Every structure is written in structure tokens, then in C-alpha cells.
Amino acid sequence: MPSTVTLPAWTQTAKYLALTTFRKDGRPVSTPVWFVVNGAELLVLTDESSGKARRLRSSPRATVAPCDARGRASEGPIEVMAEIVPERTGATRAMVNRRYRLAAPLVAATSKVVRTVRRRDPERPTAIRITMPGW
């Protein structure tokens, strides 16, 4: 008999997720991110060269907790597994744009302008899939 997946209740109401990844020496690094729920998983967009993406390539260990825009968690963290899934980037971007209708295009445009002014490489987005045993 298949088990029913139950995500934490906050996944339906929280706007931000504190995604904590771990450096090679074990020190945690927490970042507030937008997220979307897709069945039994959470999806996040990030730049493929971001610190969190680099840390996840070393280890899939992570924690998540609901938070505010500054990253202050409102509940205790939950241990999860997170992995980079570049093949899901397009679908994840579409879901993020739907969920954050007004803010997503504004943030993307601002990021593009800032990268151009600072003469940085264009953003190369990738998706992160977050799962937990039992989800």
C-alpha cells in the first residue's frame, strides 16, 4: 500500500524558505529563497555558480525552515536532501513566476541590470529539488 505524502503545513503559506547548506568543513550557510511546491518536493531557482549550488554539489545535506525575507526562521529546521536538477529549470522558473507574479519579473529585471552595470556574467539559472525521506 503506497504511503500518502504529507508536506509540512507551512509549505502552503510561507513565502520564503531558509535553505541551509553546509560547507566542506561542516559550517552551515543559510539563505532565504523563494520556493514552489511540486507534489512531494520543493523546487528553488538559483544561479548555477551560486554558493548554495556549489555546496550542494559537494553534499546533498541541507535543512529547510519557513522564514521571512531576511532569513529569520519562524520554525525549527527540517533535515532534507537537496540536489541540482538543471533539466527542471524551465518548469521551475514557470512555477516561480506564477507563484510570485509581481515580484519575480521585477527581481529578474533588476538582477539583469545590476549584472550589466557591474560587468558580471549573465545569470545562468538552475533548479534545486528538495526532498525528505517520508515526504
Q: Is residue 94 part of a domain?
A: yes
* Percentage, residues of the chain above pLDDT 90: 76
Q: Which CATH number covers residue 99? A: 2.30.110.10
What pTM, to 2 d.p., does this model score? 0.87
Judge contact between 43 and 95, C-beta under 8 A: yes
Q: Is residue 57 part of a domain?
A: yes
Integer CA distances (angstroms), 17 to 13, 44, 115, in order: 11, 9, 24
How do residues 16-54 score in pLDDT, each as one tens digit? 999 999 999 999 999 999 999 999 999 999 999 999 999
Query: What is the model's pLDDT at position 1?
Result: 43
Query: How much helix, strand and coil, in percent to the nearest 5, is found in the chain?
Result: 30, 35, 35
The total of structural domains in the chain comes to 1
Q: Which of 22-31, 61-70, 118-127 has the lowest mean pLDDT?
A: 118-127
Q: Is residue 67 part of a domain?
A: yes
Cell representation of residue 57: 554539489
Position 4 pLDDT exceeds 80? no
Position 135 pLDDT exceeds 90? no
Q: Is residue 3 part of a domain?
A: no
Q: Which amino acid is at 106?
A: L
